[in-house]
Structure 1
Amino acid sequence: MAHLFDRINSNFFSVLSSPNKKTYIDCIFIIYHSIDTIEDAFQGDREYIVQKLIDYFDEQPTEDFIDAEDDEPARTSRQKAVHVINVLKRNGWLGEEELGDYKTSLNLFDYSIQIIDILESIKDNRQSEYTGEIYTVYSLLNSFNLSEGIGILEQAFQKTNDILRKLKSLKANIYRYYYDITKKQSRHDLQVLLEKLLVEYKQNFFDSAYYNLKTTDSLPRYKRSILEVISNIQNNEETMDTLAAMVQKTKRIEEYNEAFHYVEDRLRFITDSFTALEHLILAIDRKNEQYISAAASKILFFTNQSDDVEGIFNRLFRIILHKKDMDYNALFNLTQMRNLDTQSLYNQRRMRIEPVSEEILFDESSISDEYRQEKIKALLKNNIFGKKEIDEYVKGLLDGRPSIEASSIDLETQEDFVKLILIFLYSKSVGMHYDVELMSKACKSNFVTFQNFKIKEVQK
């Protein structure tokens, strides 16, 4: 079996771990974009690329390269540009070709292009789009004909594989957000948390990709038709024989049985994938709910300034975390204890006495109505921020109207502010009777400024 480093240089990734890695990756992107044209096809004139790198170093002067060799000083912009090219050539990112007439070209290798594409998508935080993916598979299979049969089947297979990979990546990305909020608690304040939740996660991640998969491009809408077409192909012997013959010709497979199994494997993969796709989407839903619940709990933690036990501990933890030189004896009155002798922990045994139950008399008149209401309020406090309660709260706000703007909601207390955040947060949860739509203008309500959004009723 071929090894990865049989195809790429064994020092290929050392560029990304170098002390100058930020400069190197900037230069890699510059080279990539300089020759990413139809005319160049990732092969560019060396002097043109050197000039592009010189412009970069002129605009962003850096220190001398830490890993530069002694016989290769890199002080001027040109020297730095040449050094970068030599390093990339030495580590297998670039190849050099003599064209004649004293001209030299620099070529990116195929694997370099693939890795640079991935690195750039990570840098730019590109999110996978799912709009039309399932519909594409549906359209391909519904237009199935024997003359183009194997081509249609290959495209449907590839699209199905793409859908699965993108959804798996989506689930992994939700876990990354969940990991950030649960494992890196000391680094987040309320502002950072809200920005990550309401902007990066909701707008750029879920709304732009996964929401379409759940609505316009939903699985139940096309799944049955896709499975029916696949079943019809599998149950038609003449069609399967023709497809196997086409595979023998296009894929240069000599054995008929091998070609037949090739077609069967493609059809089975599509069937199994669309059968399992529903479970994958449910797993993503659960992970999303888990992340939202963790985020909601964190928001409630940050905003709890009450005088109950939870609020007191919140403030106490915040003081301890932010004051490194704090005298804990002033808080806990810690003292050093020692055992006086070997008998100091001895407890004398006592005769067991059978307990006798007695009636407890309780005078209810000793409890005032005000105290009783405070106790009831304390017991119900943890239940006012759940999804069901927020859904009912929104129903009361709408009061029969099709929609309202968040700016029209009175924010008199911190509890009102938390509810407003949770309205936005729970809007895409399963079973909610409302949805939200971001508006372009910011608004101010009492003590807080936020981007206005519209709350719309959703008919179930």
Structure 2
Amino acid sequence: MQLFKIIRNPHFFSLLASPNREIYVEALFVVYRCYKQEFMIKKEELVNMLIATLENRMFELAAEEGEELDDYSLSGRAHWLVRRLLATGWIELDPLVHSVDEYIAVPDYSVKILQVLYEISEDRPKEYNSLVYSTYSNLSKAQEERGDYVAEALMAAYSLTDRLVDSLKSLLNNMRSYYLTLQEQEEVREVLREHFDRYQVLISDKIYHPLKTFDSVPRFRTRILSILRQWLVDGELIEKITAQLVRKGRFADAPPGGTINTTPTSTWLFTVRENCPPGYGWIWMRRREYIKSML
């Protein structure tokens, strides 16, 4: 499996199963915020941020198997945390910085995993409309100019609609989760708490209502589909997009004496068309099921 050729440290995920996992995750979030705020991270600055953020939890740290934790000062425990993050491969010392100060590098795979964990913990509402508007904006600009950036517009539209599909699937699964939780409740008081404290606040008010009103995604559907229909029947444009994508290394070049295969470009166009916007029938149906269960 390629994953463990990239994440080579065999102890990388051990922090998430450790008795100290909650503190480790908070420390990793400090690293993530440092990464977002600073172009280069000094080790001592990271230590200071750990102390400032985790001061009240530092003394809850327990020694790991084979590890000594005999320094009871905040600074000592913060340095111990940094050593644990280094030992498990979440961060690395940057060997390319020639300075009296030590600098921390955050590997790309760590950044990606931390981003996912951070987003889960924040539980921020997803913005569906912005994805569709960006899709429309990219396609309409490319439609107007028909220049050298048509391929970029299609690539962006493909990526944005893929994210939209994932976001709507997440919404559907969350609605399913609340629906099943509601079915498990036997007391009327628990049913009302589940509805008003969780579903109404986290799903209906923050996501469903905006999705049906001011953040309505389908209002861009007609304009996007109009552009895609024109592109799908424009053989010359499809060849132009394909040639641009070949130059970018996204598609294979034509064989010697042959012609460029434009099928992948058409497939991308069909995919964007099908994905914008998808899945609404399932979401409205799940909403109706939930309402019925409350009656």
Give the AA of the match of 1:158. S
Give the AA of the match of 2:287. N
Give the AA of the match of 1:114. K
CA pair 22-249 structure 1, distance change in 2 beyond 3 A: same
- Cα deviation digits, residues 6-65 of structure 1 (max 9, x gap): 21133222111100111111111122223422xx33x31111111222334543352451
CA pair 199-259 structure 1, distance change in 2 beyond 3 A: farther
8 Å CA contact 2:133–2:220 kept in 1: the answer is yes
Give the AA of the match of 1:201. Y
8 Å CA contact 2:41–2:103 kept in 1: the answer is yes
CA pair 281-74 structure 1, distance change in 2 beyond 3 A: farther
CA pair 106-269 structure 1, distance change in 2 beyond 3 A: same
8 Å CA contact 2:12–2:88 kept in 1: the answer is yes
| Residue 174 of structure 1: aligned partner | 175
| Residue 16 of structure 2: aligned partner | 16
| Residue 292 of structure 2: aligned partner | 293
CA pair 127-54 structure 1, distance change in 2 beyond 3 A: same
- Answer 1 or 2: which has greater strand percent: 1
**Alpha-carbon distance in structure 1 between the residues aligned to 2:63 and 2:188:** 37
- Answer 1 or 2: which has greater helix percent: 2
**Alpha-carbon distance in structure 1 between the residues aligned to 2:36 and 2:140:** 37
My pick for the range that moved more, 52-61 or 100-109, is 52-61
**Alpha-carbon distance in structure 2 between the residues aligned to 1:57 and 1:155:** 40
Give the AA of the match of 2:29. F
CA pair 70-113 structure 1, distance change in 2 beyond 3 A: closer
SS at match of 1:81: helix
- Cα deviation digits, residues 375-430 of structure 1 (max 9, x gap): xxxxxxxxxxx5xxxxxxxxxxxxxxxxxxxxxxxxxxxxxxxxxxxxxxxxxxxx
State the Cα distance separating 1:77 from its structure 2 match.
1.8
Give the AA of the match of 1:137. T
| 2:266 counterpart of 1:264 | yes
- Cα deviation digits, residues 122-170 of structure 1 (max 9, x gap): 2122121223433332333233232121111111112211111110010
State the Cα distance separating 1:193 from its structure 2 match.
4.2
2:114 to 108, 116, 124: 116
**Alpha-carbon distance in structure 1 between the residues aligned to 2:228 and 2:53:** 54
SS at match of 2:180: helix
Aligned alpha-carbon RMSD (Å) = 2.6
- Cα deviation digits, residues 218-243 of structure 1 (max 9, x gap): 45533333223212112112111211
**Alpha-carbon distance in structure 2 between the residues aligned to 1:58 and 1:123:** 20
Give the AA of the match of 2:57. Q
| Residue 205 of structure 2: aligned partner | 207
**Alpha-carbon distance in structure 2 between the residues aligned to 1:291 and 1:105:** 52
**Alpha-carbon distance in structure 1 between the residues aligned to 2:88 and 2:219:** 50
State the Cα distance separating 1:172 from its structure 2 match.
1.0
| Residue 226 of structure 2: aligned partner | 228
SS at match of 1:89: helix
| Residue 91 of structure 1: aligned partner | 88
CA pair 189-61 structure 1, distance change in 2 beyond 3 A: farther
State the Cα distance separating 1:71 from its structure 2 match.
4.5
State the Cα distance separating 1:216 from its structure 2 match.
4.0
Unpaired runs of at least 5, structure 2: none
| Residue 6 of structure 2: aligned partner | 7
8 Å CA contact 2:43–2:103 kept in 1: the answer is yes
**Alpha-carbon distance in structure 2 between the residues aligned to 1:218 and 1:63:** 47
- Cα deviation digits, residues 91-137 of structure 1 (max 9, x gap): 12101124334321111111211221221222122121223433332
| Residue 31 of structure 2: aligned partner | 31
SS at match of 1:53: helix
| 2:248 counterpart of 1:250 | yes
Spell out the pairing of 1:145-160 with structure 2 (5 A cutoff).
145-147=145-147, 148-160=149-161
- Cα deviation digits, residues 302-352 of structure 1 (max 9, x gap): xxxxxxxxxxxxxxxxxxxxxxxxxxxxxxxxxxxxxxxxxxxxxxxxxxx
Unpaired runs of at least 5, structure 1: 297-385, 387-460
SS at match of 1:106: strand
Spell out the pairing of 1:16-415 with structure 2 (5 A cutoff).
16-37=16-37, 40-41=38-39, 43-67=40-64, 69-71=66-68, 73-98=70-95, 99-143=97-141, 144=143, 145-147=145-147, 148-183=149-184, 185=185, 190=189, 193-218=191-216, 220-251=218-249, 253=251, 255-256=253-254, 260-274=262-276, 277=278, 280-294=279-293, 296=294, 386=295
**Alpha-carbon distance in structure 2 between the residues aligned to 1:272 and 1:16:** 39
SS at match of 2:36: coil
**Alpha-carbon distance in structure 2 between the residues aligned to 1:128 and 1:252:** 29
State the Cα distance separating 1:251 from its structure 2 match.
2.6
CA pair 224-252 structure 1, distance change in 2 beyond 3 A: closer
**Alpha-carbon distance in structure 2 between the residues aligned to 1:261 and 1:120:** 39
SS at match of 2:223: helix
Normalising by structure 1, what TM-score?
Answer: 0.57
Percent identity, please: 23
Aligned length: 286
**Alpha-carbon distance in structure 1 between the residues aligned to 2:12 and 2:180:** 30
CA pair 55-180 structure 1, distance change in 2 beyond 3 A: same
**Alpha-carbon distance in structure 2 between the residues aligned to 1:217 and 1:63:** 44
Normalising by structure 2, what TM-score?
Answer: 0.85
SS at match of 2:128: coil
